[in-house]
Structure 1
Amino acid sequence: MGVKARRIALRPFLPADTAVLAALFRTSIEELTGDDYDVDQQEAWAAAADDEAAFGERLAGLLTLIATHEGQVAGFVSLKDNEHIEMLYVHPQAAGMGVGAALCEAAETLARARGAKAMSVDASDSALGFFQQRGYAPQQRNSVSLGDVWLANTSMKKPLGAEARMQ
């Protein structure tokens, strides 16, 4: 797996990526969150990509980076206001290959370079352990309404100062 992780390349989002990222978003939710969310919750969550034009506009309005592996899109991260991970999704076939870590590290590096002192994320229950392993600390639990369905997530924060890089 270490060899595969070294082949991960990052590039900026382009409008032409919208359909691929919308499909990756849906697939990631459907295949990677089943232990924490029921089918109704997954469908409500994935519906955010149903209007691909709006989804693409959302991605374009954020600092969005795409990870590729062997020429295939493997994941993406979107940074809001230089300090909040708005979205981080990895294709199920790339899970465990270091794609999420590479994307998160890139977002943190960009945020730090742009003057952010801390990063935040509203982590799904499925992503909570990933972010905890990266030094994010839970701040509060949230309930999010998507139509008539409720989803839980956890607001988390991580300091980005020089001392945080030493860990």
Structure 2
Amino acid sequence: MIIRPMTPDDVHAASAICLQAFTIGVAPSLSAQGVATFGGVASAEAFTARLQGDNVILVAVDEGKVRGVAELKEGRHVAMLFVAPDCQQRGVGRALMTALLTHARAPLITVSASLPSVPAYARYGFVCAGDVATASGLVYQPMHTPHHIAAPVG
């Protein structure tokens, strides 16, 4: 498996992975508004636009195919971490998170974790940082970690 920066050629595969994993793991617990909000954020067009901004977007590639995607916004906020459902529990997310955090530029790294993903982020050293919140139909748990301890713990 190779972890590398996402290129414009990867945006459709990355979008498809995010949407597939989200649909299976998160969407059933959200309103139609939340599902639509995420669909916009995870679209290929949105990824293309964010490639031009101050975001680091990495992909995990295995056997020539994108298997996962992770995004760090402004060097301080994990905005995406998704692994293809058939590749989960195989170290792809761990490899992406480890690589992503090497790009951190702030002493405190944050994430707005979907409720089903809270245990996964906890394994990377993130802790809850406030009450569950909702924005544009997305329900999330604010979490953070000092990036110097954000290597996977388990």
Does TM-score exceed 0.5, indicating one fold?
yes
Aligned pairs, number: 150
In structure 2, what is the equivalent of residue 126 of structure 1?
A: 116
Q: Give TM-score, length-normalised by structure 2.
A: 0.84
In structure 1, what is the equivalent of residue 135 of structure 2?
A: 144
Q: Is the 8 A contact 2:56 2:71 kept in 1?
A: yes
Query: Secondary structure at the residue paired with 1:48?
Result: helix
- Residue among 92, 100, 105 paired with 2:98: 105
Once the two structures are superposed, residues 126-154 of structure 1 have per-residue CA deviations (whole angstroms, 9 ceiling, x without a partner) of: 11000111110101221111xxxx23101
Whichever residue aligns with residue 155 of structure 1, its letter is P
The farther-off stretch of 25-34 and 97-106 is 25-34
Whichever residue aligns with residue 64 of structure 2, its letter is G
Tell me the distance in 2 between the aligned counterparts of 1:17 and 1:10: 13
Q: Does 1:25 align with 2:18?
A: yes
**Structure 2 unaligned regions, length at least 5:** none
Q: Is the 8 A contact 1:18 1:55 kept in 2?
A: yes
In structure 2, what is the equivalent of residue 47 of structure 1?
A: 39
Tell me the distance in 2 between the aligned counterparts of 1:98 and 1:45: 28
Deviation at 1:56, TM superposition (A): 1.6
Q: Which protein has greater RCO, CA pairs closer than 8 Å, 6+ apart?
A: 2
In structure 1, what is the equivalent of residue 141 of structure 2?
A: 154
Whichever residue aligns with residue 19 of structure 1, its letter is H
Runs of 4+ in structure 1 off by over 6 angstroms are none
Tell me the distance in 2 between the aligned counterparts of 1:121 and 1:84: 6
Q: Is the 8 A contact 1:59 1:78 kept in 2?
A: no
Q: Is the 8 A contact 2:78 2:110 kept in 1?
A: yes
Tell me the distance in 2 between the aligned counterparts of 1:56 and 1:139: 30
Change (3 A) 1:94 1:159: same
**Structure 1 unaligned regions, length at least 5:** 1-7
In structure 1, what is the equivalent of residue 50 of structure 2?
A: 58
Query: Secondary structure at the residue paired with 1:82?
Result: coil
In structure 2, what is the equivalent of residue 16 of structure 1?
A: 9
